[in-house]
Homo-oligomer: A and B are copies of this chain.
């Protein structure tokens, strides 16, 4: 069975496993103070070109969203995001669990529009009874989005400008950041993100690591006692090395970017093949996720040969499904897929 259902069906890039083995018996400081964690953080800061950035390594995406949002928001604040945002629909209420409302705006191709945010904030502060309403205290975007789409530099700059105008942080969920940065059509760089966002994370779990996300506070703005908050949320690993070694490896010799680029190349091959064979796309994407509309017959035929992700039922006769490439997808995998399309 060919497997294209997600970008987390395999383990870690071999270099990561290699380094975990190599460093395994070294006695290291616990709770993230080890030299590999420090090195990883230092490399990430350098890549971001932000001297005043602060980097923390966490284990998973929902955990990261929960901790970042909870610690950056005041108790009276909620987080603004697209109605399609991961925090709104697929994290079992992890944000609300910490006491914060998720305030939605209607997505445009999975994205938050700066004008919509601007209007929401303007209306909020225009309402003389706004002290009875949850304060919009942060804007959350994902890049790539849940629909595999990307913000343009111009769109990110507009969002950043709105956030600055209202003095609230802009947070970018980069669970698949590598696949966004290495896409052919993007004009957004890691430096841009580090310049425009107040906080973001570089996803490891979906980009070559066993687990792990690197949170970057971009201008010395990590919340007070963030280390203790991590512990309080149950997210502090005793063996911080597990994350440190992985991210140190990912950011050595551009590994993170190379394997992301590879996934994009595989996705581009797949996209081309889908198009040539007459498949309809549900949405145009340039990252590692491809959303295809299948009719029932095709769906039945394909699902015995290849596994893919169910996205949504479009109508009685059509279903949207997702094919994802990843750092681990091989040309042979892609060719095999093409042969059954």
Q: Which residues of A contact B (CB under 8 A)?
A: 1, 3, 6, 8-12, 14, 17, 20-21, 23-30, 59-67, 70-71, 74-76, 78, 89-94, 96-102, 126, 128-129, 131-135, 205-206, 210-211, 224-225, 227-229, 231-239, 241-242, 307, 310, 313, 328
Contacts and interface: CB of A to CB of B under 8 A. Distances in A.
26 contacts: A3-B27, A10-B24, A11-B241, A14-B24, A20-B210, A59-B59, A66-B234, A70-B75, A71-B75, A75-B229, A76-B225, A76-B229, A91-B132, A92-B133, A92-B229, A93-B232, A94-B231, A94-B233, A96-B96, A97-B232, A101-B102, A132-B228, A210-B242, A211-B237, A211-B239, A234-B235
Contacts of A8: 30, 238-239
A128 B74 CA distance: 29
Given A76-B93, A99-B96, A234-B233, A10 B30 contact: no
B129 A90 contact: yes
A74 B11 contact: no
B63 A234 contact: yes
A125 to B, nearest CB: 13
Nearest to A29: B9
A75 B63 contact: no
B27 A63 contact: no
A313 to B, nearest CB: 8
A34 B29 CA distance: 32
Given A99-B96, A100-B93, A228-B92, A238 B61 contact: yes
Contact of A92 (B210, B231, B238): B231
Given A97-B75, A232-B75, A239-B205, A134 B92 contact: yes
Contacts of A241: 11
A259 B91 CA distance: 37
Nearest to A31: B132
Given A6-B30, A76-B224, 8 more contacts: A11-B26, A17-B21, A63-B234, A76-B228, A94-B233, A96-B96, A97-B233, A132-B228
A301 B337 CA distance: 66
Contacts of A70: 75
